[in-house]
């Protein structure tokens, strides 16, 4: 009887050890995933910030699963995070080149938009009521021209995401100035038509 009880207790202990062993936090996978993300994040943040954000979000999701004792799910997420981080590291040179090309394209578009607005300003209607508006638009264009060299500095510093963002902002501002000038030209062009109808 004692030996049967002893084997039953031993069996129960072995089952508990097995269950506990299977349900321990995936510490190794967590450390491995974090190391992989840390290895790629500093450089990747400059070119593909959204990819780095996704990796960090997935790490946080895994941590949430660990906190909820869902170790199997956490392990699956962490294995994927490590694989994604490794893939990102391998493809980073191409992504960097793409980010550089995007920044240069945006810079060219910004330069063109500023040049177009400046050329259009010479055709702006000049009159008593428009003098202040023209001066304001001249100041806007001057400010935009002065901000163009900063784009090249950012590209030279390989800060492509910021360069693209700033270039797009310059382009939009220049387009707004062009729209204002076009509206003023349309108003002037519309007056004679209205007068001839009278």
Helices (H), the chain: 2-22, 27-47, 49-67, 71-121, 131-156, 160-197
Determine the pLDDT at residue 198: 37
Q: Is the pTM of this model over 0.85?
A: no
Give the highest mean pLDDT range of 95-99, 105-109, 188-192: 105-109
How far is the C-alpha of 103 from the C-alpha of 86, rounded, in Å?
25
How far is the C-alpha of 25 from the C-alpha of 60, rounded, in Å?
15
- Which carries the bigger pLDDT value, residue 179 or residue 191? 179
Q: What is the pLDDT of residues 111-161, one digit of tens each?
A: 999 999 999 888 877 766 667 778 888 899 999 999 999 999 999 998 888
How far is the C-alpha of 59 from the C-alpha of 37, rounded, in Å?
9
DSSP annotation of 24 reads S
Q: What is the pLDDT of residues 6-36, one digit of tens each?
A: 545 555 544 444 444 457 999 999 999 999 9
How far is the C-alpha of 53 from the C-alpha of 44, rounded, in Å?
10
- Domain residue ranges in the chain: 12-91, 96-197
How far is the C-alpha of 42 from the C-alpha of 158, rounded, in Å?
13
């Amino acid at each position: 009887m004692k030996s049967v009880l002893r084997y039953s207790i031993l069996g129960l202990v072995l089952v508990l050890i097995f269950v506990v062993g299977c349900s321990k936090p995936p510490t190794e996978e967590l450390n491995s995933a974090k190391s992989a993300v840390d290895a790629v994040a500093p450089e990747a943040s400059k070119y593909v910030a959204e990819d780095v954000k996704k990796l960090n979000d997935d790490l946080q999701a895994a941590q949430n699963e660990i906190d909820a004792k869902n170790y199997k799910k956490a392990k699956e997420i962490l294995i994927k995070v490590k694989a994604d981080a490794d893939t990102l590291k391998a493809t980073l040179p191409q992504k960097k080149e793409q980010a550089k090309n995007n920044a240069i394209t945006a810079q060219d578009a910004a330069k063109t938009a500023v040049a177009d607005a400046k050329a259009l300003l010479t055709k702006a209607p000049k009159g008593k009521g428009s003098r202040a508006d023209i001066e304001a638009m001249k100041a806007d264009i001057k400010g935009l021209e002065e901000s163009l060299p900063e784009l090249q500095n950012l590209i030279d510093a390989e800060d492509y995401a910021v360069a693209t963002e700033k270039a797009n902002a310059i382009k939009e501002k220049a387009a707004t100035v062009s729209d204002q000038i076009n509206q003023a030209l349309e108003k002037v062009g519309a007056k004679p038509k209205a007068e001839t109808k009278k």
